[in-house]
Amino acid sequence: MKMLEDTSRAWVLVHLDALRHNVEEVRRLLPEKTNLIVVVKANMYGLGAVRCVKEFQKMGIDFFAVSSIDEALQLRENGIYDDILILGYTPPVHFHYLIEYDLIQTLLSYEYAVELDAYAKTQNAYVRCNAKADTGMGRVGVRCVENDYHIEELIKMYQLANLKVEGMFSHFSVSDEVEDEKQILYTNQQIKQFEQVEQDLRNAGIDPGYLHLQNSLGIINYPQLCYDFARPGIILCGVSSDENMPMRQQIDLWPVLELKANVSRVKEVPAHASISYGRNFETDKPSRIATVSIGYADGYSRNLNGLARVLIHGEYAPVVGNICMDQCMIDVTHIPDVKEGDVVTLVGKDGDRALSLDEMSHHLKTINNATLCLFSARLPRIYVK
């Protein structure tokens, strides 16, 4: 498919000034010695990883994290030669890319480290790695929780001859919680375990290398931590996972993304006109209905049926009838002069009014992180300064 860099149908606007502002805000909250490993996985939460990385580079950021080898190669192939940490699993058939492209692989388990080391030996090469300690997330890494503490596996990892374990990290599971005492205790326990791991490695004569622990909400809610790096993702997009979650520190976030589409047709219909598939909506009076050129194939989910509203001419208008694959309909009876080619805002600002990503996430019963990942590759990303 040819990707036109234009606004002919539906598109995502990415505000680079907001992205830069959010980086400054995160830096303001962190201690001076703490640098950023910016997490640009999932195409930088749908904003477009390559373009965003180039913006981050201008701000002096030179370390990025992605989820997979494919994402890492996409950055390399676009001329990005900074440090890249792969957070997830790289299958053995792709181990050679780690060496060829000078990537940093997370060691997901001791067995995985042994396998990678054996491969590196056959190539007479060294692979750059970060050790991962599972301090309570229960996902990947060497188990390092109370009663299930395998420091010996981490120690042996560092001793593998063909792995250069240059850093060590862990990941929070409830750093967003600041009211539920049990959850706060859990995060504090994760921090304690992480410190224990560091200490035990040093006691065994091992330099753990650089350390990092905090994700976005870890930065906001646990600012006393002072590691070499922090790993923000979602807050750089100018939203937190859920705007109703209280936070321990004030942060002034500017939303980076807007979602827009064009009106393709406007029609006057009488009362009792049925709109869209399934006939779930019928006009109760003579109405003006506009068709908008965006649908669920763009990530404008069918789960928004009957719930969503948009902005047009600075006014709210409800989405009526089922959202289709490429189109949806809105009721603009109360808004004069709507015509073909008018711009509809599905997320973002129009005049004095705004539609937040949170509102969409609320309808979808999910978090903003997941909503951002819905906006599909068919939508051109348009970058505005």
Ligand X SMILES: *Cc1c(COP(=O)(O)O)cnc(C)c1O
Interface segment toward ligand X; rule CB under 6 A; list 16-24, 197-205, 227-235, 348-356: 227-235
In angstroms, the CA 260 to CA 16 distance is 17
Closest approach, Cβ 41 to ligand X, in A, equals 6
- Asked if residues 289 and 330 have their Cβ atoms less than 8 Å apart, the reply is yes
Q: How many residues form the binding site for ligand X (CB under 6 A)?
A: 11
In angstroms, the CA 3 to CA 381 distance is 10
Closest approach, Cβ 309 to ligand X, in A, equals 27
- Closer residue to ligand X in complex, CB, 12/372: 372
- Closer residue to ligand X in complex, CB, 178/344: 178
> Is 325 annotated among the ligand-binding residues?
yes
Say whether residue 234 binds ligand X (CB under 6 A): yes
In angstroms, the CA 369 to CA 237 distance is 9
Say whether residue 190 binds ligand X (CB under 6 A): no
Site string for ligand X, 272-301 (x = CB under 6 A): ------------------------------
Catalytic positions, please? 41, 277
Site string for ligand X, 133-172 (x = CB under 6 A): --------------------------------------x-
- Closer residue to ligand X in complex, CB, 140/269: 140
Placement of tokens 């002034």 in the chain: 252
Interface segment toward ligand X; rule CB under 6 A; list 75-83, 159-167, 179-187, 229-237: 229-237
Q: Comparing C-alpha atoms, which of 374, 381, 238, 255 is closest to residue 304?
A: 374
Give the list of residues 6+ apart from residue 33 with CB closer than 8 angstroms, or none: 226, 228
Q: Look at residue 360 and give its three-state secondary structure.
A: helix
Within 353-372, which residues bind ligand X (CB under 6 A)?
369
Q: Which residue number is nearest to ligand X in terms of Cβ?
A: 233
Alpha helices (runs of H) in the chain, residue ranges in sequence order: 16-29, 41-45, 49-58, 69-77, 95-100, 110-122, 151-159, 181-203, 216-221, 357-363, 368-372
Closest approach, Cβ 124 to ligand X, in A, equals 31
Closest approach, Cβ 215 to ligand X, in A, equals 4
Give the list of residues 6+ apart from residue 250 with CB closer than 8 angstroms, or none: none
Say whether residue 232 binds ligand X (CB under 6 A): yes
- Closer residue to ligand X in complex, CB, 35/283: 35
- Concatenated DSSP letters for 302-353? GGGTTT-EEEETTEEEEEES---SS-EEEE-TTSTT--TT-EEEEEEEETTE
Among 39, 47, 154, 346, binds ligand X (CB under 6 A): 39
In angstroms, the CA 52 to CA 261 distance is 22
φ, ψ of residue 36 to 5 degrees: the values are: -105, 135
Q: Look at residue 287 and give its three-state secondary structure.
A: strand
Among 46, 233, 238, 321, binds ligand X (CB under 6 A): 233
> Is 44 annotated among the ligand-binding residues?
no
Q: Rule CB under 6 A: which residues touch ligand X?
A: 39, 41, 87, 171, 215-216, 231-234, 369
